[in-house]
A = this chain, B = another copy of it.
Amino acid sequence: MLDDRIRCAALRGKITSAADAAQLVRNGMRVGTSGFTRAGDAKAVPLEIARRAREESEPLRITLMTGASLGNDTDRILTEARALERRLPFQVDATLRRAINRGEVMFVDQHLSETVELLRDNRLGALDLAIIEAVAITETGGIVPTTSVGNSATFAALAQKVIVEINLAQPLALEGLHDIWSPAARPGRAPLPLMRVEDRVGTPCIQIAPEKIAAIVITNQPDSSSTVLPADADTALIAGHLVEFFQHEVSRGRLPKQLPPLQAGIGTIANAVLSGFAASPFEALTLYSEVLQDSTFDLFDAGKLAFASGASVTLSAKRQEQVLNDIARYRDRLVLRPQEVSNHPEVIRRLGLIAINTALEADIYGNVNSTHVGGTHMMNGIGGSGDFARNASYAVFATKSIAKDGRISSIVPMVPHCDHNEHDVDVIVTERGLANLTGLAPRERALTVIEHCAHPLYRDILRDYYRDAAALGGHTPHRLDAAFALHTRFAQTGSMLP
């Protein structure tokens, strides 16, 4: 029955239970697993690691590296079992988040393109074990990933031992979607030869020495579905402002009518913005992104999208069923790549991407906080937003102008944590409007961000702040004694409003 899934006959003897495979893990090990934005994560062995950590008398704590976030409540279950010593480079789990914010799990919040560069250079320690979900193992022992590639290829290449989870719920038809390419070690590295979104530069599977495959576990469980909310009136306005802006850029000769490839971050706003392009006049769009969400397939179905390149496919339950059952319909317009290729600065700069990511908050000068609530508490992580924003042609950050019914303004005098600074951010957009910061000095930026992006509830507060700060002088005027007044007021009263 598994002949088509494990085509290298010599490896069929490695099939074992998840519990037995998890016995390969020792306290203190560094473990890398597949999984990027809930897609293609290893679903069985990590839970057995958690069970061992709960049940055994000896401590079992590991460093867990992934592509990005996991589904399947894996991060919660590992956290509750106290099995996580250190976690990188991204997560979205509420329980793990609380443990990180209590200082119990050491979380290293990294640019998603950089984790495997550091591993390859031996700067994060040796990787003991990789656990990779696959649809199949080929005749030569090649591992065919499922709905994400993430960091799986490099994890498998560098780990001492590899566990493969063959997930029967992931259709074999996914084979052929992937394009596995890894840069050579430095020095002597050649250019990444990708010049168009649709270019294939690598191989369709992860080829490692088959004897490194220490165990094969059979699973049968779909990916956790996306938690993205549907578009609403505000996200539709944001999408509208952006479509209008890009039309304007085309009309001024700053962009070709055929837009450069788009990247859109994970989450509700970026997904809604992309969906908004379905009603735009733009044609033959392309995506060079990390995660392909429902919006990707909305655009395909609307006939607007010519090609999509990503590191994962993360869909709502309904879309997941439809796409996986009908993957043939999309497969010649899709490719899944390692995240160090999808997020590679070289390619992002070369293609001149339009990068659209979500801000938690932005300040009047265009600095963006993507990660830290109140400047202190980790939400998810920077993800790929830094890879894209620094090197893209247009770096757009989108947010609703207010949160919590107006008790929080997403436009503030100064961000208390800066993930993307004024040098990188080209456009801030909220449902109120859009500020194009390109070529503007900070004093000019402040005026346009306040007038175009801030909610009317907060405009006077921000105008007053800027006026008082500007009176003190400076290229980027601030009152350091009042820069966080909105944040401290919220901490004290539950609202940034006086």
Whether the pair B443, A106 counts as a contact (CB closer than 8 A) is yes
Contact present for B350 and A191 (CB under 8 Å): yes
Q: Is the CB of A382 within 8 A of B476?
A: no
Nearest CB on B from A128, distance (A): 15
Q: Once the chains bind, are B186 and A190 in contact (CB under 8 Å)?
A: no
Q: Which of A416-434 contact B (CB under 8 A)?
A: 416-419, 421-424
Q: Which residue of B lies closest to A110 (CB)?
A: B423
A369 to chain B, nearest CB (A): 10
User: Interface segment, A54-62, A174-182, A295-303, A481-489?
Assistant: A481-489
Is A193 part of the binding interface, using a Cβ–Cβ cutoff of 8 Å? yes
Interface-located stretch among A231-239, A264-272, A318-326, A466-474: A466-474
Q: Is the CB of B374 within 8 A of A480?
A: yes
Do A441 and B107 touch (CB < 8 A)?
Answer: yes
Given the known inter-chain contacts A186-B351, A480-B484, please indicate yes or no for A418 contacting B416, CB distance below 8 A: no
Q: Within the complex, what minimum Cβ distance (angstroms) separates A489 from chain B? A: 10
- A440 at interface, CB cutoff 8 A: yes
Of the listed stretches A34-42, A116-124, A328-336, name the one at the interface; the rest are far from the partner chain: A116-124
Which of A10-18, A45-53, A95-103 participates in binding chain B? A95-103
Selected from B110, B191, B374, B481, the residue in CB contact (under 8 A) with A484 is B481
Are the CB atoms of A480 and B416 closer together than 8 Å?
yes
Q: Mark A165-195, 1 if CB is under 8 A from B, else 0.
A: 0000000000000000001001111111101
A367 at the interface (CB under 8 A from B): yes
Q: Which residue of B lies closest to A347 (CB)?
A: B346
A187's contact among B190, B192, B352, by CB below 8 Å, is which? Answer: B352
| A391 in complex: contacting residue of B345, B483, B491, CB < 8 Å | B345
When distances are taken between beta carbons in the complex, the residues of chain B under 8 Å from A212 are: none
Asked whether A73 is an interface residue with its Cβ less than 8 Å from the other chain, the reply is no
With CB as the reference atom, state the residue of chain B lying closest to A100: B475
Residues of B within 8 A of A337 (CB): none
Task: Give, as a whole number of angstroms, the nearest-CB distance from A200 to chain B.
Answer: 16
Q: Does A76 contact B (CB under 8 A)?
A: no
Residue of B nearest to A487 (CB): B480
Cβ–Cβ < 8 Å partners of A417 in chain B: 476
A20 to chain B: closest CB distance in Å? 31
From known contacts A260-B187, A422-B109, infer whether A439 and B393 are also in contact, taking CB-CB under 8 Å. Answer: no
For A255, the chain B residues whose CB sits under 8 A away are 121
Report if A86-B378 is in contact (Cβ < 8 Å); known contacts: A101-B474, A423-B109.
no
Instruction: Look across to chain B and name the residue whose beta carbon is closest to the beta carbon of A261.
Output: B187
- Mask for A77-114, Cβ within 8 A of B = 1, else 0? 00000000010100000000000111100111111000
Q: Which chain B residues border A86 with CB–CB below 8 Å? A: 441
Closest-by-CB residue of B relative to A109 is B423
Residues of chain B within 8 A (CB-CB) of A121 are 254-255, 352, 393
Given B103, B123, B187, B480, which contacts A473 in the complex, CB threshold below 8 Å?
B103
What residues of B have a CB within 8 angstroms of the CB of A367 in the complex? 418
Residues of B within 8 A of A191 (CB): 191-193, 195, 346, 350
Query: Is B484 a contact partner of A488 (Cβ separation < 8 A)?
Result: no
> 1/0 contact trace for A362-379 toward B, CB 8 Å?
000001000010111110
Which residues of chain B come closer than 8 Å to A391, judged between CB atoms?
345, 390
Q: What are 21 sample pairs from A and B whose C-beta atoms fall under 8 A apart?
A: A102-B473, A103-B477, A107-B475, A111-B423, A118-B438, A118-B439, A121-B352, A186-B352, A187-B260, A191-B191, A191-B192, A191-B195, A374-B480, A375-B476, A376-B477, A376-B480, A377-B473, A386-B390, A390-B391, A417-B476, A421-B421
* Other A-B pairs, 19, CB within 8 Å; known A108-B441, A376-B472: A101-B473, A101-B475, A106-B441, A106-B444, A109-B422, A110-B423, A118-B438, A121-B393, A122-B253, A124-B438, A124-B439, A183-B350, A189-B351, A191-B191, A345-B346, A375-B476, A386-B390, A390-B391, A416-B480
Which A residues are within 8 Å of any B CB, using their own CB?
Answer: 86, 88, 100-103, 106-111, 117-118, 121-125, 183, 186-193, 195-196, 252-256, 258, 260, 344-346, 349-352, 367, 372, 374-378, 382, 386, 390-391, 393, 414, 416-419, 421-424, 438-441, 443-444, 469-470, 472-478, 480-481, 483-484, 487-488, 491
